[in-house]
Every structure is written in C-alpha cells, then in structure tokens.
A and B are shown apart, each in its own frame.
Chain A
Amino acid sequence: EVKLVESGGGLVQPGRSLKLSCAASGFSFNDYWMGWVRQAPGKGLEWIGEINQDSSTINYTPSLKDKFTISRDNAQNTLYLQMSKLGSEDTAIYYCARGGYWGQGVMVTVSS
C-alpha cells in the first residue's frame, strides 16, 4: 500500500524558514517522480513542484521558485520541501504526492 506521511509543519514567524519531510513507503521510492501541492485554508489547490527520480530535474511553479526548494533522499525514502522567507500567504496545508497518491497533509501557519 502506498503511504505518504508528511511532517515538520507548525507555527513559524514571518521571514523564517521551515523544512517539511515526506516519508514514503509501500512502493519503490526511487522509481517515481514526487511532488508537493498546497492548499490555503478554505481555498483551492496550488501545485508547488516536483522532482524526478535522481534529482536531476526539478520543476516549480514560477511564483515559488525563488523561495521553495524540493529535494529527496532515495536511501531514506524521503521527500523534502525547504521553504524560506515565509509570509502569511504561505499558510496552508502542504501535501506530498506521487501521481494520484497524496499524503494526509501537514499544516504550516505563518504568524507572529
């Protein structure tokens, strides 16, 4: 069974950084592209980006490219999202995804 479990969320002050993790299990992690999607409270879905199997290709939505970095550790079956210069607009649930499989999400709240 494909399982994706996000962690690392919480309350963070504006301007600070935060790194999310996504632990994958139930499939061969290093065979798949992996990605991140977010959803602000009560709002729609925003695709953040995705990374290929060997980390040689990473695609981002342009508006987030300069503040978010996606990476992965195939030995640890873990996907990461490094977020910097956070603002209130980044308050959202962050989902890890492998194609049509999504994790349960992790909440990030940016507030002083």
Chain B
Amino acid sequence: DIQMTQSPASLSASLGETVTIECRASEDIYSNLAWYQQKPGNSPQLLIYDANSLADGVPSRFSGSGSGTQYSLKINSLQSEDVASYFCQQYNNYPYTFGAGTKLELK
C-alpha cells in the first residue's frame, strides 16, 4: 500500500495568513492526489483533484501543487471559515489511501 505522510498534524494560524500543508507519498503517485476539507459534524468536501485542479465552487485562495511524491495544499489569506481538518488522498494505486489529516485552528 502507498503510505501518505501528512504534516503538520495540527496548525495554528492567524486570519489573513498563508498556510501550507504537505503530503508525502511513499512512491510516485503521478499527481493522482486530492485534498479534502472536513468541518466538525460534516462529511469531507473536495477542494483539489489531480494535485492542482480546483474543485467546483472552491474559493481561489485554495491551491494545490506538487509532483512525484511531494504535494502541498496552500491557503492564502486565511478566513475563519477555513478552520477545519484537511486530508490528502492518493488514487494512483489500490488501495486508495489517505493522509492522517491536519487540524487547522485560528491563533
């Protein structure tokens, strides 16, 4: 199975700040990577697919980048509604696997 190592596990940032979350795959996943946002009590919502494509309706302050084994999610100008947990998922190889998640809080 492909292991997805996500960092940091938790993050505290101020409104308006730029934050970056990283995911490292144990082997090349050829940009077959998605990022999800999950707010408490809700199901995960797709933010980014194919490593850098913005899902429908997602604000442009979210962006994804990376290739090979290293990927990142960047949130520009952090808003209060961005407080959530974030997960990466690889869908290059079965079984599809998720990172352990990053909990983003406001400072």
Chain A residues in the interface with B (C-beta under 8 A): 44-47, 49-50, 59-62, 95, 99-105
Contacts and interface: CB of A to CB of B under 8 A. Distances in A.
B34 A45 contact: no
Contact of A100 (B1, B34, B97, B98): B34
Contacts of A102: 43-45
**A contacts with B: majority SS:** strand
B10 to A, nearest CB: 13
Contacts of A45: 36, 44, 87, 89, 98, 101
B43 A59 contact: no
Interface residues of B, number: 20
Nearest to A103: B43
Interface in B18-71: 34, 36, 42-46, 49, 55
Contacts of B36: 45
Contacts of B34: 100
A46 B98 contact: yes
A108 B45 CA distance: 21
Contacts of A49: 95
Interface of B: 1, 34, 36, 42-46, 49, 55, 87, 89, 94-101
A111 B83 CA distance: 33
A34 to B, nearest CB: 13
B55 A47 contact: no
22 contacts: A44-B87, A44-B98, A44-B99, A44-B100, A44-B101, A45-B44, A45-B98, A47-B89, A47-B95, A47-B97, A47-B98, A49-B95, A50-B96, A59-B94, A59-B95, A61-B1, A99-B46, A100-B34, A100-B46, A102-B43, A104-B42, A104-B43
Contact of B95 (A60, A103, A105): A60
A100 B34 CA distance: 9
Q: Can you list the 9 inter-chain pairs with the closest CB atoms, starting with the nearest? A: A100-B46, A61-B95, A45-B98, A47-B96, A102-B43, A59-B94, A44-B101, A44-B100, A105-B43
